[in-house]
Amino acid sequence: MKYLEKSITEIHEALLNKTVTSEQLIKESLEKSHEIQKKYNAFVTILDNAKPTEVTNELISGIPFGVKDNYSTKNVLSTGSSNTLKDYIPFFTATSIDNLFKKGAVMVNKTVLDEFGMGGTGTTGHTGIVKNPWNPLHMCAGSSAGSACAVATGVYPYATGSDTGDSIRKPAAYCGIVGYKPTYGMISRYGLFPFASSLDHCGVLTRNVEDAAIVVNTMKGKDKNDMTSWDSSGVDLTKTLKNDVTGLKLAYIKELCDIKKYKNADATLKEHLENFQRTLKICKELGMEVEEVSVDEKLLNSIASTYVVISCAEATSNMSNLTGIIFGPREEGKNYVEMIKNYRTKNFSPLIKRRFIIGSYVLQKENKDRYFFNAQRIRRLLVDEWKKIFESFDAVILPVGTGPAPLLEGSKDQIDNSTKALEEHLQVGNFGGFPSITIPNGFINNLPVGVNITGNCYEDEKVLNIAYQLESKMNYKNQIAKENN
């Protein structure tokens, strides 16, 4: 029957017509979870005793979904994929997840991420690496690796993600699905384990744009427990999806998309950029205007460092509560310093430890201006640059990354001098809090690739509208991952 490979509205119809029950969906989803776990290691916890809920007029009622394991879930293990919290069972549920529960959504598993979201490979979680369901020799990317893998394989129609640099939007591209993070503060972050608070966004991974709109519609809302959340009660993300896009204006950045800018471009990059140009052509066929714009290369080349400096600084502070004193496995020590140090040394992965040191360094009094404040200044310049584009354009459209998912073997999650702006530009969406969505736009070497649409703050409806129309002119809507080799 494979109901779970369908869209939310289709499953909802089936539930209403009683051709399937919530119980059957959950059973199917749990069976699939175990199968996917064996093949790709996507889950920290599978909730075998998940209970069906009443089917109501709410689209998501009775339908199973997955939760990234950095969301706090009451009475369900919530680890952040870190050994520091390997036994942590919260007594409260994140606001956005609670919003889904209230409408009858059924959580069936908790998905693997890069430890606390700090990483882009899906390989640093404490339960091991997550493999790409299109080809298990490749990565899913991260940090929402498990969520992307599970949605792509049809475990359920959607899973929540979180996005600090591109942690929803890149794994979505590598797994051939949709990844959407709305404007900063549209979804409450209360209960999301923080990585870098000023960049962290909640969001969702789905197989089509409409599902993304449906799920975020439910997750969003002003929360008294999150001062950065705002009232979006007047916004219905599904309402304007099907609007005509004729006359809307899209910009793409020459310095990122022009193959001539890359001296040693390989065949994959060439194909990726050509494929992007084909997508632009579809946009034009839809009646949109597409123009090339120019952004100072110096700024573009600073994106990655700006991100590293700001995110590491905030992270080192955000994770100072991880001492093993109130929660987490307590360590021994001659005194409290030793006790905390043993806990942190033993339980943090090497990647995180390195990033903490960078974060700490850039905040030191004598370094703060050169590193931290300068990064925050570049953040503003980049955001201003994007906002300037939004004055004349409805959205920015850009390819996601430099191609499809890299191989797991030999991939490194280090800050590398050769990192290209093309690989990291999605981080600007986090700098500015912009609504940003990735949709699949083709295949290279039998692996999916994606395209990203980013708009100005509070213009989520427009971004989703463009993405929906573009999606409808391509052949990748609702695709399910299958190993081709």
Partner 1 sequence: MKYKALIGIEMHCQITETNTKAFSSAKNSYTIIPNENVRPVDMAFPGTLPVVNKEAVKKSLMASMILNCKQPDYIYFERKNYYYPDLPKGFQITQETKPAPVGICGYLDYYVNDEIKRVRINNIHLEEDSASLDHKNNASTIDYNRAGVPLLELVTYPDFRSAEEAVSFLETMRCIYQYAGISEGDSKKGQIRCDVNVSIMDEDIDETKEENWGTKIEIKNVNSFSAVKDAINYEIQRQIELKETGTYDEMEQQTRRWDDEKQETVYMRSKVDAIDYKYFIEPNIPKFKIKQEWLDEIRGLIPELPNERKEKYISKYELNKKDAETLVKEKNISDFFERCIELGCEAKEASNWITTRLLGYLNKNDLNINDIYMTPEMLTEICLIVKNGKISTQQAKEVFAYVLEERKTPQEIIKEKGFEQNSNEEEIIELVNKILEENEQAVNDYKNGKTNIIGYLVGQVLKASKGKFNPGLTAKILNEEIRKR
Partner 2 sequence: MSKFTKEMVEDYADKLLIGLTEEESQMVLNEFDVIDQSIDVINQIPNIDLVEPMSFCLDDLEVDLREDEIEESISIEELLQNCDETSDREVEVIKVVG
Helix ranges (DSSP H) in 220-296 = 254-257, 267-285
CA distance 426 to 406: 18
By CB under 8 A, tell whether 356 contacts partner 2.
yes
| Interacting span for partner 2 (CB under 8 A) from 53-61, 255-263, 300-308, 464-472 | 300-308
CA angle 208, 212, 214 (to 5 degrees): 115
* Amino acid symbol at 30: L
From the list partner 1, partner 2, none, pick the one residue 433 interacts with, judged by a Cβ distance below 5 to 8 Å according to partner type. Answer: partner 2
By CB under 8 A, tell whether 414 contacts partner 2.
yes
Positions in 115-154 near partner 2 (CB under 8 A): none
From the list partner 2, partner 1, none, pick the one residue 416 interacts with, judged by a Cβ distance below 5 to 8 Å according to partner type. Answer: partner 2
**Cβ pair 159, 80 in contact under 8 A:** no
- Give the one residue of 259, 282, 457, 480 binding partner 2; rule: CB under 8 A: 457
State phi, psi for 442 to the nearest 5 degrees.
150, -170
Q: How many separate helices (H) and strands (E) can be counted in the chain? A: 15, 11
Structure tokens at 220: 């969003």
By CB under 8 A, tell whether 224 contacts partner 1.
yes
User: Annotated catalytic residue: which of 81, 162, 167, 436?
Assistant: 167
From the list partner 2, partner 1, none, pick the one residue 363 interacts with, judged by a Cβ distance below 5 to 8 Å according to partner type. Answer: partner 1
Look at strands 64-68 and 43-46 and give their pairing: unpaired
Q: Could you confirm whether 143 is annotated as catalytic?
A: yes
By CB under 8 A, tell whether 321 contacts partner 1.
yes
3-class DSSP state of 461: helix
User: Annotated catalytic residue: which of 68, 220, 420, 462?
Assistant: 68
Residues with Cβ < 8 Å from 119, sequence gap 6 or more? Answer: 142, 143, 351, 413
Burial 61-75 (b: 16+ CB within 10 A, else e): bbbbbbbbbbbbbee
Q: Could you confirm whether 261 is annotated as catalytic?
A: no
Positions in 351-390 near partner 1 (CB under 8 A): 360, 363-365, 368, 372
Look at strands 447-454 and 201-206 and give their pairing: unpaired
Taking the complex as a whole, how short is the minimal distance between the CB of residue 226 and partner 1, in angstroms?
Answer: 5
CA distance 32 to 392: 47
| Interacting span for partner 1 (CB under 8 A) from 56-64, 140-148, 166-174, 221-229 | 221-229
Taking the complex as a whole, how short is the minimal distance between the CB of residue 163 and partner 1, in angstroms?
Answer: 16
Taking the complex as a whole, how short is the minimal distance between the CB of residue 344 and partner 1, in angstroms?
Answer: 10
Q: Could you confirm whether 33 is annotated as catalytic?
A: no
Positions in 73-132 near partner 1 (CB under 8 A): 78, 80, 85, 88, 90-92, 94
CA distance 139 to 126: 16
By CB under 8 A, tell whether 326 contacts partner 1.
yes
Is 215 or 319 the residue whose CB approaches partner 1 more closely? Answer: 319
**Cβ pair 184, 173 in contact under 8 A:** no
Q: Which residues are catalytic?
A: 68, 143, 167
Binding site for partner 1 (CB under 8 A): 71-72, 78, 80, 85, 88, 90-92, 94, 189-194, 196-198, 224-228, 313-314, 316-317, 319-321, 323, 325-327, 336-337, 340, 360, 363-365, 368, 372
